[in-house]
Amino acid sequence: MSLPTRFGRCHPIHCILPPYLLQNLARNGPPDLRNIALEVLALDSTIRSNRIICSMMETGAHPALAAVAKHRTVYTANNSTTLPGQVVRVEGQASSGDAAVDEAYDGLGATFDFYFDIYQRNSIDDEGLYLDATVHYGQRYDNAFWNGQQMVFGDGDGELFQRFTISLDVIGHELTHGVTDSEAALVYSGQSGALNESISDVFGSLVKQYQLKQTAEQADWLIGAGLFTDRVQGVALRSMKAPGTAYDDPLLGKDPQPAKMGDFVETSEDNGGVHINSGIPNRAFYLAATKIAGYAWEKAGRIWYETLRDTSLTQTTNFSRFAARTVINAGHLYGTSSAERQAVIEAWNEVEVRVV
């Protein structure tokens, strides 16, 4: 189930934590953490299916603006599950002193600035959409999500997960689902759903790289670094550089992402493995970006962005079709004999998505 949005369509709920990670915790964790995981899974299911939230959010929606200007509003749910909650910081106000509020505010701004500065995109819908976020959602809620209207962040359980505003690439990831929804509107299932997730990882990472002014070689290529507490045997939720290596923990299990098509996971869970198989196009982007070198948002990011906006994509585009369009767009941007186009071809071939 999905929610009506200011884009004029319905879109699915996109959570940063995949269900299999929470399911592992529900099976393997001590009683208090098992209960938290079960509550988060139940709440996530309710969010996806509860049409009442749709009308609540639609009533509070702001109109889209054509002018280029940030319009951020951060709310607190005060540990309830009522959205959007109480306003705690609006555009132009000084720091609130609440870390979650201020991280959300800064993350919304950093994502807006990235898309405008680099791709001349006016907010995530390219029409000046207001950017809203709710923090302190639920009780020890282990997740963050984009619901088609706004960002929502839990505080984490404090034992395995920190507050979910702590990672800028998570904020960039979730807001990029809004970009994808307004452009290719990739169906959130199977390979198109894994592409949807991968595109959010790509641009979530680029938001962080742009903020830190890191080259492709300097970047960590991790999604969700900083979310885990010291108790977890892992560095992040996902690694774009080395899918399948982000964590290996007794409670959370082992990172299940494949790095090439030969290891593609056929599953009916996780909407057909959208969070799992996204490792394949993630690594393709990492390889393309590092082969091209320099700042990844400048060339590799431009190729992926223009491909996302490519009108020849369908909502059910698979890896091969997307890969082929990245090669074509690299040729359009940099020439059919360019090093950039060749880097993209080599990157996809290395993850066994054959384009030539």
**Residues with catalytic roles:** 174, 275
CA-derived radius of gyration, the chain: 19
| Residue 256 CB contacts under 8 Å (≥ 6 apart), including other chains | 20, 244, 265, 276
How does 171-183 read in b/e, with b if 16+ C-beta sit within 10 Å? bbbbbbbbbbbbb
69: amino acid identity, one letter: A
**Alpha-carbon distance 85 to 71, whole Å?**
17
Beta pairing partners, 154? 137
- Overall size of the chain counted in residues: 356
Q: Say how far apart CA 237 and CA 275 lie, in whole Å.
A: 10
DSSP string for residues in 254-319: E----SSGGGPPP-SSHHHHTTTTTHHHHHHHHHHHHHH-S-TTTTHHHHHHHHHT-TT--TT--H
Contact 197, 213 (CB under 8 A): no
